[in-house]
Amino acid sequence: MSVNPLRIIVIGGGVGGYTAALRAASAGCQVTLVEKAFIGGTCLNVGCIPTKALLESARIARLAQRGVEFGITLEVTNVDLGVAVVRSRRVVEVLRRGVEDLLSARGVEVIRGTGYVRGGGKVEITSEQGNRLLEADYVVIATGSSWMDIGGIEPDGSQVITSDHALFQEQIPTSMVIVGAGAVGCEFAEIYSAFGARVTLIEMMDHILPGEDKELARRLETVLKRKGIKVMTSTRVRAITRGATDVVVETDDGSKLEAAQVLMAVGRKPNITGIGIDEAGIASCPKGIVTDATMRTNVEGVYAVGDVTGNSMLAHVAMRQAIVAVENITGNEAVIDYGLVPRCVYTDPEYAAVGKTEAQAREEGYDVKVTRVRLGHIGRALTMGEAFGLAKVVADANTKRLLGMQILAPHASEFITEATVALKQGGRIETMADVIHPHPTLSEMVWESFQAALGRSIHGD
């Protein structure tokens, strides 16, 4: 006797939404994906992917300027943001078409429109073709997030912009003030500075990358300053005034900064309004839709994943949440552990971290042991002309178990996963220290760090 497949409606086609749709379709479910704009959402279209493409252009521009150091004399006569932007859009289009092809190949029905939760497994879809009411066994909400403004300062796409605007403009402003020195702010400071803009980075907290390790953040701040980026910390923006040709940013100490353009990079808010969650009785708070570790909401049959939940607004978190949700929908047990989420900033060098920072571990009452390995001790780094970096291990002094790790180094995002695996396996530093790493590689920085944490440093101090 045949069994009818589970019917699932996913609202939102960003990373969390399309991952849920693909995973559910692979599990034999009948899946409908509702998306009002572009498949791939923020990350693929106006976030992770195009930003990293532009950062690669910026990295090459800076490397070309260092050519003489490597015995290669280059005359860089022009850096063209327009060409870099066009290339970034090509990358986006290739990846987006790839995801669309996967959805089609796995039998996912994609409906262009806006989805509203109506309760009882029903979703109303509004589109140019009119309204439709669909019913399913389960609903997965993945409506993402959008940019926040500050103090009523609304971006206009010209003088005051968000990263969404910045990813499409093809002319470099002579000067730019970036408000917010989190990951987005620091990455765009790298991009626009490399292409010739005079960049000022403003952060209200006492160091850039607030919430991350202060020691490594201040090292990164030094790197940014060496690149000509002005960094102002412990500084709050009081007002932004648009003029005929420039913008004036007034700070809380009375300083006034003039720039051709202001980039707002102060964070994102979950898209929880206008999707019917209140009417359906789905619990939410200003942070987002409330879920448990299985991604269930308080309403039977309704799950939420991605930025709309407000938990670590990162693409890889959305993907994991989506997988967890579908596993539970299809009768398997899975949970997400936010303590195992790697956090990456794609500056040059990159910052990557997982687990607790030193400050967090001390606040939680651990007897903390901290060890450090400098990038200059790693042979591969020196062959690349890179020496100003650091890896930091935060461990429990009593049990010698890993609590967290932070790395400032080229390609740090590629090898922070080793520390994530160590945490997943109970934080046994001895196990990771016994793993043979190829030489010479940057990944040896992790190995050296674990050796140092055990008091067995080879090349470190």
* Ordered domains of the chain (ranges, CATH): 7-147+269-338 (3.50.50.60), 160-266 (3.50.50.60), 349-453 (3.30.390.30)
Closest CA to 259 of 246, 244, 250: 246
Residue 387's φ and ψ, nearest 5 degrees, are -140, -15
Distance CA 438, CA 380 (A): 11
pLDDT of residue 1: 40
Q: Which residues contact 342 (CB under 8 A, 6 or more apart)?
A: 316, 352, 353, 354, 413, 416, 417, 419, 420
What pLDDT shows up at residue 151? 72
* Contact predicate 358/394, CB 8 Å: yes
8 Å CB contact between 427 and 337: no
Report cis status (omega within 30 of 0) of the bond before 270: no
| Number of CB atoms found within 10 A of residue 425's CB | 11
- The pLDDT, as a whole number, for residue 264 is 95
Residue 412's pLDDT is 98
Neighbouring CB atoms inside 10 A of 406's CB total 28
Q: Strands 261-264 and 175-179: what pairing?
A: parallel
Residue with tokens 């590689």: 441
What is d(CA 35, CA 21) in angstroms, rounded to the nearest whole number? 12
Residues near 349 by Cβ (< 8 Å), separated by ≥ 6? 220, 223, 375, 386, 388, 389, 408, 409, 410, 412
Q: What is the model's pLDDT at position 74? A: 82
Which listed residue (165, 207, 439, 459) is catalytic? Answer: 439
The pLDDT averaged over each successive group of 10 residues in the chain (461 residues) is: 81 98 98 96 95 97 92 87 97 98 98 94 91 96 91 87 95 97 98 97 97 97 98 95 93 94 94 95 96 98 97 96 98 97 98 98 97 96 96 96 98 97 94 94 96 89 68
d(CA 400, CA 396): 5
Does residue 316 contact residue 323 with C-beta atoms inside 8 Å? no
Is 437 catalytic? The answer is no
